[in-house]
Chain A
Amino acid sequence: MTDHELALNAVRLRQRLLRLIANAGAGHTGGDLSCLDILNVLYHRVLRVSPATRDDPDRDRYVQSKGHCVEALYVVLSSCGFFPDADLDTVCRFRSPYVGHPTRKIPGIEMNTGALGHGLPVCLGMALAAKMDGRSARVFTLLGDGELAEGSNWEAAMAAAHHGLDNLTAILDHNTLQITGPTREVMSNEPVGDKFRAFGWEVREIDGHNYAALTRALTDPPGRGKPTFLIANTIKGKGVSFMENVAKWHHGVPSEAELALALGELEAAEAAMRFTS
């Protein structure tokens, strides 16, 4: 996919995402929109995994530590063909396997997450297993910035560097907001890059909505013997004007009118993109 095709895919996925959340009556809208471009690049450009290879021991792994943004993962996995789009109409319904956090019952999902601070330790185990077996598989996780207050992340940060896991990349969805408000005010993690550098990681920082930058940062060879910490600077609610940088959209569900307004904006953006192609 070209950058333009990825962008076109993203604007469509944002529409699908909002319809999904409105239909489910639940979702973490703001964070879904902030991490969607990262997932779009990961699954369409970086990860060596597909519906056909989802059980291949050599596949790359992605574990979404910020599990509450599962709706973004659902729409991206569906766009890759892991399951039919119609499944997403069942999200959060009685007896549906598509619950409000990732589970391994869904094709393409590697680990059940949702409680924060679990993804990085689990990915350490996966990265260690790949090293032991001499496999080239890479392991990725996505962390929220509010999530970094969980101490288990720092246990894992220490251990990943100690074990020299250069096949491990932790991506920070650095939207600087969490449910209560700005992360700097709730529990500052800054300077987060310096902290991970001090723990022995290679730290990269990019615009988390820029496809070329994301691709480079996720595919450039890692520092030898060092895990990679990628700070992806993002905008919570990205792509919908009235949701951007507004903490209340953390798990806000759009009303019918808000959904129409948001879809209108995204359809206009899609039309403009088609026109420029």
Chain B
Amino acid sequence: MSAPASSLFTPEALAMAEKLGLGKGRANLDEFAATLGDLARADRNILAVTSDSRGSGKLAPFGHALPGQLVEVGIAEQNLVGIVAGLAASGKKPFGVSPACFLTARSLEQIKNDVCYSDVPAVLVGISAGVSYGALGSTHHSLHDFAVLRAIHNLAILAPADNFETREGVRATARSSGPVYLRFGKVPLFDLHGPDATFETGSAITLCGGNDVAFIATGETVVHARLAAGQLSEAGVKARVLSMHTIKPLDVDAVLRAGRECRAVITVEEHSVHGGLGEACAAVLLQSGVAVGFRIVGIPDEDTVTGSQADIFRHYGISMEGLAMVAWNLLAL
């Protein structure tokens, strides 16, 4: 047993981030809370609904500034989603904020029926998603949320990669007339986008071009794919990196272009390898007759290794080094 990894990034990965000119961002959750606060100040129908989760959702300042727009329901996630649906059916734009592990498992039936089937403009915000809770163990991990939510009709699923995608994703969500699921981790990462970036729900963002290998990554794994592309480029391998911030509706065209134009495709997600981004991309490619070297990087179907989020990422190869290695192996075939 080794000491817990102190960072999601090795010194080499940090050096690569610096070389690529990636600035340090704040936690996407902080960006979410600040953006929601700005939107709510301008529109009193925008609400935050919490299940004793305003602290972990970074919403304490929101609650102080706009006490009439924060609804506390206590530790009762089923009730939270039902209440959010009722508010949304009554002209409100509620953002129900709760740890992703509880929100998308315990309240799955409420999401399916009260929100999606009833077609109300409710927003579900899964915080500390994936393995953000690290050593707290599998009760607190959400490695199933893409899979179960993808199978429910009428729900947009967004997993922003950085502060820009978070800000734009939350704004787009506030304008949406249908149900949305937003997924956030909790550690500060890097800013991945330049000043000219544009965001549109359902459209992947190309972070860098290349035709040797394509990384299609989502949420807070995108940064690792970007760093791996940097490392590969130093060895003459040109990697394309797509930030697939919208899991549903999936940007099918971007997936097909990657499959047709590159020699290999690698998907990356902080989620089970079952039912998430990887399998979604595989289905798109195979059903269009695109045969390409393909790997799904995620959390395998096993008793998840214990340790911090950084430990777990490194163990399963969700890192610059791990992803570059997957690319080498795939291109060598």
Interface residues of A (CB under 8 A from B): 57, 61, 103-104, 110-115, 117-118, 120-130, 132-133, 151-152, 155-156, 158-159, 162
Query: Which of chain B's residues have a CB closer than 8 A to the CB of A111?
Result: 85-86, 89, 114, 118
Residue from A110, A125, A127, A133 with most neighbouring chain B CB atoms (10 Å): A125
In the complex, are the beta carbons of B83 and A121 less than 8 A apart? yes
In the complex, are the beta carbons of B83 and A158 less than 8 A apart? no
13 contacts between A and B (CB under 8 A): A103-B117, A113-B113, A123-B86, A124-B82, A124-B83, A125-B89, A125-B94, A128-B86, A133-B91, A152-B78, A152-B110, A155-B73, A162-B74
In the complex, are the beta carbons of B91 and A129 less than 8 A apart? yes
In the complex, are the beta carbons of A114 and B82 less than 8 A apart? no
In the complex, are the beta carbons of A110 and B83 less than 8 A apart? no
In the complex, are the beta carbons of A110 and B82 less than 8 A apart? no
Say if the beta carbon of B71 comes within 8 Å of chain A: yes
In the complex, are the beta carbons of B90 and A129 less than 8 A apart? yes
In the complex, are the beta carbons of B71 and A122 less than 8 A apart? no
- With contacts A111-B118, A112-B113, A113-B113 taken as known, whether A159 is within 8 angstroms of B74 at the C-beta atoms is yes
Q: Mark B108-127, 1 if CB is under 8 A from A, else 0.
A: 01100110011100000000
A172, B89: Cα distance in complex, Å: 23
Say if the beta carbon of B258 comes within 8 Å of chain A: no
Say if the beta carbon of B177 comes within 8 Å of chain A: no
Query: Which of chain B's residues have a CB closer than 8 A to the CB of A158?
Result: 74, 76
Say if the beta carbon of B88 comes within 8 Å of chain A: yes
In the complex, are the beta carbons of B87 and A125 less than 8 A apart? yes
In the complex, are the beta carbons of B110 and A118 less than 8 A apart? yes
In the complex, are the beta carbons of B90 and A118 less than 8 A apart? no
In the complex, are the beta carbons of A122 and B85 less than 8 A apart? yes
Besides A113-B113, A121-B83, 15 other CB < 8 A contacts? A57-B90, A111-B89, A112-B114, A117-B78, A118-B110, A122-B114, A125-B85, A126-B86, A127-B86, A129-B91, A132-B92, A156-B79, A158-B74, A159-B83, A162-B74
Residue of B nearest to A102 (CB): B118
Interface SS, B side: helix
A120, B71: Cα distance in complex, Å: 16
In the complex, are the beta carbons of A121 and B89 less than 8 A apart? no
Residue from B83, B94, B119 with most neighbouring chain A CB atoms (10 Å): B83
In the complex, are the beta carbons of B68 and A152 less than 8 A apart? no
A113, B113: Cα distance in complex, Å: 7
CB distance from A157 to the nearest CB of B (A): 10
In the complex, are the beta carbons of A159 and B86 less than 8 A apart? no
Residue of A nearest to B49 (CB): A125
Q: Mark B266-292, 1 if CB is under 8 A from A, else 0.
A: 000000000000000000000000000
Query: Which of chain B's residues have a CB closer than 8 A to the CB of A126?
Result: 86-87, 89-90
In the complex, are the beta carbons of A122 and B89 less than 8 A apart? yes
In the complex, are the beta carbons of B71 and A128 less than 8 A apart? yes
From 72 to 105 in chain B, residues with beta carbon under 8 angstroms from any chain A beta carbon are 73-74, 76, 78-79, 81-92, 94
CB distance from A101 to the nearest CB of B (A): 10
In the complex, are the beta carbons of B92 and A129 less than 8 A apart? yes
- With contacts A111-B89, A155-B76 taken as known, whether A125 is within 8 angstroms of B82 at the C-beta atoms is yes
